[in-house]
Each structure stands twice: as C-alpha cells, then as structure tokens.
Amino acid sequence: MKRIDELKELLRKYDTQYYEEGVSEISDAQYDRLYEEYVALEKEYPEYALIADSPTRRVGAGNQAGTTTGLPKITHKSPLLSIDKKAKEISELQDFYEKCGGNGTEVIIQPKLDGITCNINYENGILVNAATRGNGYIGDLITDNFKNTDTIYPDSLESFDLEVRGEAIIPFDYFKKHLMENYSNPRNAVAGIMRQIEPKDVKGKGVQVMFYDMGQTNVDISDKDSDNVKILKAFGFQIVPFVVASSWEELKACVESQLNGYIQQVEGFNVLMDASKEFPQAVCDGLVIKVNSKKLRDEIGMSEKGPKWAFAYKFKPLQEETRILRVVWQVGKSGRITPVAEFEEISLGGTKINRATLNNFDYMKQMDLQYNDTILVERSNDVIPRVVEVKAHNLLAEEDIQAKDSFRLPQVCPVCGSPIKELYPLHYCENPFCSAQIKGKITHYASRDAMNIVGLGEGIVDTLFENQLLSDIPSIYSLLEKREELEALPKFGKKKVDNLLKSIEKTKNPELWQFIYSLSIPEIGKKASKDLAQRFLSMQHFLSATFEELIEMEDFGEVMAQNIMDYISNSNVLKMIQTLMEQGVKPKEVEVHSSELKGKTFVITGTLANSRKFYQEIIEKKGGKCAGSVSKKTTAVLIGADAGSKETKARELVAKGEPIVLLESEEAIQAYFGVEY
C-alpha cells in the first residue's frame, strides 16, 4: 500500500508535467511501466480504485489541469475523455476486438498523433472559440493562438453548430530544421508554443491542427465515424488519415504494417510519411482503433475514464542492447549533477548513439547498474535516449579501474572539484562559479523564453567559452565589441555574426519578468518571475525584497522564498547585475497607473466579453495582481460563461464566510474597477 501511494504521487507528477508543461523527466515506456504496476496493485487492493484521484480514473492532469498556464478556462460542450484501453501487445488488441464483436465488426484506424488535443467550436457557422483538452471537461482557451497556426480549416460553416476535435502538431521536417536545438521532441515544442500568452508568439512556428472527430453538432451525421471524418474533409478541415477494417485479419495487417505503411521510422521517430504530401509529417506514438458504428458504440458503452469501444495500440519504443563502458557525470546550470552512460555505439532509427541519460544516482542504484553490464537503451519519439534496464551483469578477467570507479557517486564536483550537497534524490555542486554552471546559465539567459538571443545556443556558447570570448553572463554584451574575433572563428561568417550581435543589442530593454527569469534563480520559472515582477514592479525593489514579503505571495513557499533571498543577498550576484546595468541592460518597470488595488488579488475565469489580457492590464495598472487559482487570499473573481471549477471554489468560500467579491457581468466589472469600455 505504501508503493501504491508512491506510484500515485509519481504518476500525478508526470501527468502534470506532460499535460500542463509539455515536458517529461521520463520516457513513455518508463511511464507505462509505472502505470501498469499501479493498475496491477489496484486490482490486488480494489478499494484504491474507488479513490477520486486514482490515476485509473483521472483524465490528463486531472484537477491540476490549467493551474500552471495562466490562460482563461472554458468548459467543453461535450467531454473529451481519454482512451482507457491501451497496450503494446497484439494479443490484447485481438481481445479488445473480439469483445466488440469480432469478425464483421467495422473499426476505424487512425494514427495516434503525438501532440496536444484541441477542441474547436463553431456556432451558427462562425468559429467562436478554440481550447485545449485540459482535464477533459475544462480546457485552456486558445482561440487567438489557434488562428495564428498554419492549420487548414474553414472560416465559416454556413449555419452549422459544430464541435470538432483535432491534434495540434509540429511536422517532423519543420521541427528538425527550426526547433530541434530548443526542444527534445515535437510534442514538447507544440505544447509550449500553443500555450503562449501572446498569440503573436505562435505565428510562424509550424503548428498545424489535424482533425479526427466531431463532438456536439447539429450537422446531419452518419452512423459510421469514417463517413463523418469525410464530412470534415468536405467542409475544408485538414483531417487525420484513416483506414477501415472489418475483420481481425485486416485489422492485424493494418496495425503490423503501421497503418499500411503510412507511418515510418525516421531518425528514431515514428512519422506519418505521405508520398502525395496530402498530410504533414506528424509524429505518432501508436494507432487509435475505434468501433466505426455510433449505434454499436452506444451498446458497448463507457467507463468512468473513457470509451470501452476504443483502443490505443502504442508502438513499442526503439530499443537496442549494448555494453556500458563508463559513466560521465554532467553538471547543469543549477549545479545539478546528472549521470550519463557511455556505451558501445548502437543505431536507433538510423541515428548512431553512444550516450544516454541515467536520470540520477538513485535511478542507477534501483537498476543495480554495474561496470560492463549489458544494458537496454531506448528512444521513443524523443531526441534524448535513455537507459531503461540492465539485461545482464558481465564479469571481466581484466577491469578498467578508472571506468569502474566512474559508477560511484563523485565526492566532489567532477568539473570544478567543489563540495557536493544532496537534496534527495538529486546532487548539486555548491560552487556557483563552476564553469559548467556558468555555461548553463549563459545558455539559459539567451534562451527563447528568457532574453531570446537568437544564435546563442548551447553549442555556440561552448565554442565562445573555449575561445575565451565568453566567461559569464555580462561577457555576452562584450561580444558587441568583438566582431573581428567572432568572424575569425570557424563557421562564423559576417551574416551570422551580424544576426547574433543585433539579437544581443535587442535584449537591453527587457520586460522585468524576462530579466528575473533569465537569471536562473533556483525554483523560479516563468510564472513565478511574472508574479515577482507584478509584486515588486522594478528591479531595484525586487533586489530589496524581504523574506516576509516573499512568503506572503500566493503560491510562494518557504523554499522558493529562501532561494530568492539567498540569490539577492549574494554579493557576486549583485555585482553581476550591476555590471549588466552598466552595459546598458535596463529592465522595464512594470507600468502601474495607481495603487488603489495594491495588495489585492483577482482571478479571471470563464469566457468574458474581452480577452484575459484586457482585464489583467486593468487590474495591474491599478496595482493589483492576477492569480491562477482561487483561495482565501482572493479579493474578487471575474466570472464569465462556462467558468467551471474556479467559480465553484469561489462560491464555496463565499458560503463559508470568506469576503470574496463575485463579479458576474460586464456591468459589475466596470463598476468595480471604475472604468468604461
């Protein structure tokens, strides 16, 4: 039962990462193993299946859906539930097919696209909103973001009402050319891009939505789902390709050929490859098999989590056995020390690989990883390969003592020799001036979500560091005076240097939150940086923050507050910031027209007459702050249509006597804030 609780917490963490943040610390196969272990234990202890937050009952990130994005929320007209039945074994698919009726039962087979699910709504023929799936019932409103994608869709639909489901993807060929340096895989890229607060940040990023299903509609539809997908195509939507099978032999042949050859392995990814170029190169992680008849679907029914008439057949990840040679201990920008396996070279999906991550030392211990072991390396729709299993312990007559010693946890930092501290299960170098940390911090400072210095990625930082043109963050601005040295470097032409220097110059007047985020303060991400900027308004005030002021902020715990205090009280940090200021870097002060709402917190929920940003600017210019969740500290809640769980929470607190103001109309909002628009 202790293991059940451990697995439940791990699965909740990884679900939130995957569905909310578009990232994951582990591979799909590793996640599946944890989930399967939980399911097996839940069958042994069935009382756990009745718990509301059980992973077997949760859709997406569950109640955590939408809590990290800062986007307004909307309730879907009909739920977007997940597929509960999933497996990698053909025998389990056959069992599913037999239970649905067996031979003679038509099924529609579609690629399981590896992106983020979107729900698009037309009312009376007009596109009214677009949203992410969220927890299946409530999603993030992304209408303007959707309109800035490269999606093929109709502007209007005569007088129809239509809820249409699709998957936002970034084609593999576009990802390779433009985004591989900044993202580990196309799904991470599209998840981050589609949740941008500013719609202009979505334009020109290669995002396309491919449509596969209808939700609620007044369109005259067929009993056959395949016919309805054809209707979507006739309307002008870019559809997901499909195959129809009516026997086990047809279904088995289609699955084993990966959708009759439509899906091919390309550089370690399963990619939709269409010679006619009717479909973009979408990355897939399996196939979705659904009973084709709507009437038969109704007879088969639903489980709490999703339909019993649908099955997700997941492709087995690319795996190869090899022999581990040594462990290399890498140091990141935060000082985190990560073990990386070096092994005899293998080929996965046409890509030669001789290194793979081991996550952390505790992960190595759990696998009982030893010198010269035969290991299993996996790569599944991800740039980053991982060691997932020890297949055999191999003894050698002669041992490489140095290589054998590399499997032990270092006693000091492997880069600078400084002491190591343990924050279980992770280990950190304590020296902030470790060269590995400095290079990591420079790379983060220049990254897209921070100061966005185009052309200063990890490889370029390494090159400039090796040639003594970079030594710390302020040295970035010294490059403006070193054009000749830059142009003399291999593969550094005049145009490349021009673009780099122009991009550096553009960063001298950043938003305050961007600058705070770029500093790599431990535990301080984009959302926390924006909250800090709104609370302190200027860099000077932020640097004078007290622990008490920080701990009073919503969603700021003692660890985050102490990390900030440690950072801003460090004399070397203050010297670095002062040097940046002297070089012309002047973060903008947050514009506040008055302080009448100072200390007050507001939550915006549902679909209002204007965008979330519109109301946020009104609040912030009067000194107030917007939060992503309702609590006892909330001053007022702006409630629009289809508000969902935040409205419910606010009303529950009001019923308990909390003095939260509920603003339920545009007139009430205008009166409260003293504005007209």
Active centre residues (catalytic): 112
Backbone CA torsion sign across 446, 452, 458, 462: negative
How many C-beta atoms surround the C-beta of residue 211 within 10 A? 22
Q: CA of 520: how far to CAs of 444, 563, 595, in Å? A: 7, 11, 30
CB contact at 8 A, 81 and 253: no
| Radius of gyration for the alpha carbons in the chain, expressed in angstroms and rounded | 27
CB contact at 8 A, 560 and 528: yes
Amino acid of residue 539: M
CB contact at 8 A, 259 and 109: yes
Asked if residue 317 has a cis previous peptide bond (ω within 30° of 0), the answer is: no
H helix intervals, 506-624: 512-518, 526-536, 539-543, 547-551, 558-568, 571-582, 612-621
Enclosing H/E stretch for 411: none
Q: What string of DSSP letters covers 275-317?
A: TT--S---BEEEEEEEESBHHHHHHH-B-SSSBTTEEEEEPPP
CB contact at 8 A, 384 and 184: yes
Q: CA of 231: how far to CAs of 163, 165, 222, 533, in Å? A: 13, 13, 9, 49
Distance CA 58, CA 53 (A): 6
**Would you state the structure tokens that stand for residue 186, as one six-digit string?**
């196309």
Phi-psi region of 353 (alpha: psi -120 to 50; beta: other; left: phi over 0): beta
- The interaxial angle of helices 558-568 and 571-582, nearest 10 deg, is 60
H helix intervals, 345-434: 361-367, 401-405
Beta bridge partners of 107: 245, 291
CA-angle at 594, arms to 591 and 595, nearest 5° = 105
**End-to-end C-alpha distance for the chain, whole angstroms:** 57
Secondary structure of 96-143 in the HEC alphabet?
HHHHCCCCCCCEEEEEEECCEEEEEEEECCEEEEEEECCCCCEEEECH
C-alpha closest to that of 14 among 32, 26, 2: 26
Enclosing H/E stretch for 467: none
Q: CA of 259: how far to CAs of 229, 287, 549, in Å? A: 17, 8, 58
